[in-house]
A = this chain, B = another copy of it.
Amino acid sequence: MKSFYSFIGGHHGAWQVSQMSALAGEPLPQVAAITMLNQPSSDVQDRGQWLLEGFTSNIRYAERSELSALRAKQQGLGRAGVKCAALIPIQKNPAWWELSQEERRAIFEEQSHHTAIGMDYLPQIARQLHHSRDLGGPFDFITWFEFEPEHTTIFNEMLERLRASKEWSYVAREVDIRLVKN
């Protein structure tokens, strides 16, 4: 279960919440801090006010050339100097999940350029994607981003580009939680 992560919203934690906003669908209850643990939720003692759970997995859409480019450019979480993070859980609508693999790929990349947009902000904006839909939680994906404070503007620009894409017309719920390291 080492691929499992728990995100606990509560009164205290390693990351202080600076802003929480619901861009689509229901908001999450306001909390003061977030703790991210590399543990399944069943192992978590202090469950805070709410808990989200997801797992990292194999890459679902990237083709070979994209994978190679990503691997050459991306950096991991936990870099020195990184004081800002964002936790963005997303739920897609049933129409998305009714699509076939090549239909999802076409919307994800050929029409929305999801990987290509993310690549424009590497290595400054590090990200880790967690899958949550298979666990029956309220969200399908939980993405954790890390960046230095001076890259907040380009982080916002990246999100604007993604949110203007065709893929985002399938997003039923999205909460954007901004975090500062304690």
A63 contacts B100, C-beta separation under 8 Å: yes
Copies in the complex: 2
Known contacts A42-B42, A60-B60, A1 near B135 by CB under 8 Å: yes
Which stretch, A19-27, A51-59, A121-129, touches the partner chain B? A51-59
Taking a contact as CB atoms closer than 8 A, the residue among B57, B63, B103 that contacts A102 in the complex is B63
* Distance between Cα atoms of A1 and B133 in the complex (Å): 10
* Distance between Cα atoms of A55 and B55 in the complex (Å): 13
* Distance between Cα atoms of A102 and B102 in the complex (Å): 10
Assess whether A131 is interfacial by the CB under 8 Å rule. yes
Q: Is the interface of A mostly helix, strand, loop or mixed?
A: mixed
Interface size in chain A (residues, C-beta < 8 A): 27
Assess whether A45 is interfacial by the CB under 8 Å rule. no
Contact mask for chain A residues 32-73; partner B; CB cutoff 8 A; 1 contact, 0 none = 000000000010000000000001011111111011000000
A101 contacts B59, C-beta separation under 8 Å: yes
Query: Cβ of A100: which chain B residues have Cβ within 8 Å of it?
Result: 59, 62-64, 66-67
Known contacts A58-B97, A101-B105, A134 near B63 by CB under 8 Å: no
**What 7 pairs between A and B have smallest CB-CB spacing?**
A64-B100, A63-B102, A1-B136, A67-B100, A55-B134, A57-B134, A63-B100
Q: List 30 A-B contacts (CB under 8 A).
A: A1-B135, A1-B136, A2-B136, A3-B134, A3-B136, A4-B136, A42-B42, A55-B134, A55-B135, A57-B133, A58-B97, A58-B133, A59-B100, A59-B101, A60-B101, A61-B101, A62-B100, A62-B101, A63-B100, A63-B101, A63-B102, A63-B103, A64-B100, A64-B102, A64-B103, A67-B100, A101-B101, A101-B105, A131-B134, A134-B134
